[in-house]
A = this chain, B = another copy of it.
């Protein structure tokens, strides 16, 4: 077995600390860059392979369809066919609904489920992700562009700007992916996303009250206060016919969701429920001439597949700020959602999803989408879950859905023109109610108060101010916490666990034993400008407290041992602070000893001459060695370095 030989108390000879010369700047920089941008080492398979295989692997890496299509079998196709049809039946009502939410013609919603899934199936690496439009991004686009152009007065310009926003969003995603800036998405924490989704879902639900109540007048503002105020103001416009139909549909949809929750096998009930609502609505509208009873219908859906929208892209500087803003915000949110979802399904199946590659796929999908009359698409959770449950095996399910949509566009589109708006509102509302995760918020409250605050900041910011403000508020708080984490790193006093060579936090392990004449402190986190002031104060306070404690026992502090094992990096200000700490303590006749600096920290300590100043004989490999070393120096007073620099 392994050479686990116990106890390093080896008398006079200590184990050697590695004082090798630091790596060159180029080496260290290359290594840092790799860790920052390629933590998953995507090209590890390529090493040492001949060039043709490398080229083939690279092609398969960048265009995953070359990897899965050659291995594709008829059996797999049967699974994907079923899954594809299922998600298509969801895509039609969702496409129409979310297009209404974005204030664009409903046919655009159908177009958006035809081209982008095809692109994703070529470039995408997730097997389960189903492509489609999402409510949150639809609302963000609408809210941002409405601020510049009124969609009712100037629908064509409005639509053009939506395509432009989609292009900008796609380009942003592509750039982020190519430059491997997936790290940016890391800064959207789960708590932020939970709160943001909940807040957006609440807003969207409120927006749907327009459809449910059959209101004619509404507000272009999205915040809760404005929406509730406008509903109260126009309460006399509320049509009971519309309200009754809406509530019936909503109850039906919620019931099917309930069925799915109770019996996950029956997921298809809730998957086809929106289609059932739309078809029932259409038939009902056609038979009962509901328009005459104050129930509006979608109206006017032309046959035929996506026309080109290249000429529609509008870069007029007068309006450009709106699509840029909408494009950037939706790019980030769509990415965060899409990557998180793809990843969570991948984990179930133990695959690995490369977030940066997904970004490239999403980017291409939206760029080509914006040329072919599609608006923003991503991988929505609801659709992906249905796809997964329906048994999809590869990206082919997206191709099947795409073909279904093509057939719909060629032959069935006009039929859907009878869809009552109230049915769409009920579909959206039902989907949104599922996105408000009370239990997750409660879990956060129970386990981490600060995460809960971050979540609530997003929720209330979105609900009462605006979506971007809510998002920024929450991300700002999360970053503040991250900075506080590193600005106030925990340090602790270590003691010896009896009968071992192990030293642990004395607060955590009250049985640990103090070492006479010595204070052992464990540091953690990187030491750098934002926490070095704190660390100086804190270490001096540890020493002061320990002096008082030891004095009461007739003892004294002669050595401070700093355990650097947990310190991952250090900057110039950090090194200067160490110099100051040492100077402050030496004045009081206390010697500073350093234990186990890690590779990067050691390099910085050598290059700044700190090691020379403190003396190599004051740096030890382990706490045990350090204590031995300090004890030897007690008598001769010189071995542990009394020379000053």
Contact = CB atoms under 8 A, between A and B. Distances in A.
A604 B448 contact: yes
Interface string A616-629: 00000110100110
Contacts of A185: 533
B6 A186 contact: no
Given A3-B499, A39-B538, A449-B29, A530 B187 contact: yes
A206 interface: no
Contacts of A598: 490, 492, 505, 508, 524
Given A183-B487, A189-B529, A502-B15, A447 B608 contact: yes
Nearest to A564: B566
A504 interface: yes
A251 interface: no
Interface residues of A, number: 117
Q: How many copies of this chain does the complex contain?
A: 2
Contact of A573 (B189, B483, B489): B189
Interface string A413-453: 00000000000000000000000000000011011111100
Given A5-B500, A485-B568, A583-B347, A190 B599 contact: no
A234 interface: no
Given A2-B516, A40-B537, A540-B40, A501 B8 contact: yes
A6 B8 contact: yes
A146 interface: no
A132 interface: no
A220 interface: no
A168 B4 CA distance: 65
A3 B622 contact: no
A572 interface: yes
Interface string A504-521: 110111000101101000
A580 interface: yes
Nearest to A575: B447
Contact of A352 (B192, B500, B540): B540
Contact of A186 (B7, B39, B534, B569): B534
Contacts of A631: 1-2
B490 A600 contact: yes
B529 A478 contact: yes
A261 interface: no
A417 B500 CA distance: 78
Interface in A545-574: 545, 565-569, 571-573
A9 to B, nearest CB: 4
Nearest to A576: B190
A541 interface: yes
A5 B571 contact: no
B3 A490 contact: no
Contacts of A565: 522, 565-566
A472 interface: no
Interface string A580-608: 10011001100000001011101010011
A629 to B, nearest CB: 12
B599 A507 contact: yes
B530 A186 contact: yes
A191 B529 contact: yes
A186 B10 CA distance: 43
Contact of A18 (B41, B481, B509): B509
Given A36-B488, A505-B598, A627 B534 contact: no
A30 interface: no
A484 interface: yes
A40 B488 CA distance: 12
B529 A622 contact: no
Given A188-B529, A451-B571, A481-B528, 15 more contacts: A2-B515, A2-B627, A36-B484, A40-B541, A41-B541, A186-B529, A187-B529, A189-B530, A190-B576, A347-B584, A447-B607, A448-B572, A481-B571, A504-B621, A505-B598
24 contacts: A3-B499, A6-B7, A6-B501, A7-B501, A8-B499, A15-B497, A32-B488, A183-B487, A185-B533, A187-B483, A187-B487, A192-B529, A350-B588, A447-B608, A448-B571, A450-B571, A482-B528, A485-B526, A486-B486, A490-B598, A492-B599, A507-B599, A525-B526, A565-B566
